[in-house]
Amino acid sequence: MKKYLANWWTIIIRPIYFYTKLKEESWQEQALTFFLITAWILGLVAALTVFVVQYIPIGNTLVEGFAGYKFVLILPVLITLALVFFMITFLILGGFFSFVFFVAFFLIGYLLHYVYHLLGGKGHLNRMIQSMLYSSAILVMVGLTILLIIPTRFGALDYSIFRVGFNLIYYFILLYIYGLWAIAGRKTYGVPRWKAFLGAMVPIIILLIFGVLFDKIALPILQPWIS
């Protein structure tokens, strides 16, 4: 975990230095491990949010009418059930995030590989996938969006403010990861800076469209659960 935190900090604070010093190795080794830790951290944050937003209110309704020694008697059962449901949720969400984001980064890596070759670059797909998996460090910011659900659900934050916060975080992630992918493209394929940023713009445009559609279609559907 110490190595993970060191790499994460360097990627976020000194991305050019990180990708310059990065030695090529199979993406299935340290890069994949780094990505999986990030995905499971995100799964943990999501599981905690679900626990607070859904399970605790349900638990409160189950213990209504129990007080004093009666509550003490059922407390071990409640704790056991809470741990079981939390672990189930954590395993489901951690696995979901690992699968979805891995597929996304892998496909974008393939896309950028061919884009940079079309732009005259020369490099290996393995290194690009390796760089893409390390760029997942920015996904930790997604956890902030998930955590915003808690105050929104309990009325401390208005849904409109949550929506603004969600979009700000999403577009900040896109802006930052755009820079990471451009740096990775330049270091991997040896293209000029302008070509590096031009190539990285291709998947960013796709993600911008996805963000607009998610805001217009998905968020209104999720609003009853969020607020």
- Give the tokens for residue 75: 């407390």
Using DSSP, state whether 64 is helix, strand or coil.
coil
For the chain, what are the domain ranges?
22-226
* pLDDT at residue number 177: 93
Task: Specify which of 78-87, 123-132, 153-162 reaches the highest per-range mean pLDDT.
Answer: 123-132
Q: How far apart are the first and last CA of the chain?
A: 35
* pLDDT at residue number 99: 94
Q: Which of 2-6, 55-59, 83-87, 203-207 has the lowest mean pLDDT?
A: 55-59
Q: How far from chain centre, in Å, is Cα 66?
A: 40
Choice between 154 and 49, residue whose per-residue pLDDT is larger: 49
* pLDDT at residue number 38: 93
Distance CA 34, CA 8 (A): 9
